[in-house]
Amino acid sequence: MDLAVTSAIAVDALVKRYKGVTAVDGISFRLKAGSIIGLLGGNGAGKTTTIAMIMGLVMPTSGTVMVLGARMPKERYRVLHRMNFESPYVDMPMRLTVRQNLSVFAQLYGVPDIDGRIANLAAELNLSEFLDRPTGKLSAGQKTRVSLAKALLNHPEVLLLDEPTASLDPDTADWVRARLERYRSEHGATILLASHNMTEVERLCERVIIMKKGRIEDDDTPQHLLSRYGRETLEQVFLDVARGRSQHSEVAP
């Protein structure tokens, strides 16, 4: 059986170069359906470029990306309605109301019964009180809830998240994580989470892929990573990888 077909996401020998700079350097991994995987790495590690290629927004220099059996970006049209994306760094049109923004995205994703879907999400994510407020007038926490609603509009089977709780207060961040856990549990979605929040990754992810300078430096469960590096937290493991320390390093953190 072809693992690239049976995996929700299959990345093989993926490379992306920009004018001589290699942003992603021959990475390979497969994500099984229904899993939550953390994608870690410092700034410039290649996380965002990798996610962009998985979404079919960036053409690889070489290598392949398969999502739900479709080759990206050539066959993106086949699976776009089954995927979605969330990032606090991507703003919606500020002058449109929350309802208008969600309606536009719902049409792009071919969501049936748009009004009903927006009403359900508004109730689930506590958006009702500001549905008809301009998006630019919302607080950071409110914008994050709207971004999550946008990401869930089409009941995605694959959800790509780039720092979904960045700049949020602890209560709102915990609220977002709980909703993501519940969505995965109820819908069996595959979630790829790029994050700098190690506590968040430890809570949500069953597997962690660590990137550095465009390459995969390690790939394992959080528990195995902690054991292998002799550390108590993923943050310590992340620092070991970022600073080039070997596994079971005796150097103090």
Domain CATH for 7: 3.40.50.300
Predicted confidence at residue 238, as pLDDT, reads 92
- For residue 143, is it within any domain? yes
In the block, tokens 């977002």 appear at: 176
The torsion defined by the Cα of 214, 218, 221 and 224, in degrees rounded to 10, comes to -160
- For residue 225, is it within any domain? no
Predicted confidence at residue 248, as pLDDT, reads 56
Residue 250 reports pLDDT greater than 70 = no
- For residue 196, is it within any domain? yes
Across the range 207-223, mean pLDDT stands at 95
Across the range 228-241, mean pLDDT stands at 93
Maximum distance among all Cα pairs of the chain, rounded to whole angstroms:
59
DSSP string of 141-178, one letter each residue:
HHHHHHHHHHHHTT--SEEEEESTTTT--HHHHHHHHH
- For residue 51, is it within any domain? no
pTM: 0.89
What residue type is assigned to position 83 of the chain? Answer: M
- For residue 26, is it within any domain? yes
Across the range 116-125, mean pLDDT stands at 94
- For residue 243, is it within any domain? no
Residue 199 reports pLDDT greater than 90 = no
- Give 1's DSSP letter: -
Across the range 28-52, mean pLDDT stands at 94
- For residue 226, is it within any domain? no
Our count of domains for the chain comes to 1
Predicted confidence at residue 246, as pLDDT, reads 61
Residue 4 reports pLDDT greater than 60 = no
Q: pLDDT tens, 148-183?
A: 999 999 999 999 998 888 778 888 889 889 989 999
What residue numbers bound the domain in which 83 lies?
3-45+59-220
Percent with pLDDT over 90 in the chain? 74
d(CA 86, CA 106): 14
- For residue 158, is it within any domain? yes
Q: pLDDT tens, 50-67?
A: 999 999 999 999 999 999
Residue 245 reports pLDDT greater than 80 = no
Predicted confidence at residue 173, as pLDDT, reads 86
The torsion defined by the Cα of 27, 32, 33 and 35, in degrees rounded to 10, comes to -90
Q: Give the confidence band of 249 by pLDDT, cuts at 50, 70, 90.
A: very low
Predicted confidence at residue 247, as pLDDT, reads 63
Question: Helix, strand, coil: what percent of the chain each, to 5?
Answer: 40, 25, 35
Pick 1 or 36 by higher pLDDT: 36
How many CB atoms sit inside 10 A of residue 230's CB? Answer: 13
Q: pLDDT tens, 66-115?
A: 999 999 999 999 999 999 999 877 889 999 999 999 999 999 999 999 99
Ramachandran angles phi, psi of 130, nearest 5°: -130, 25
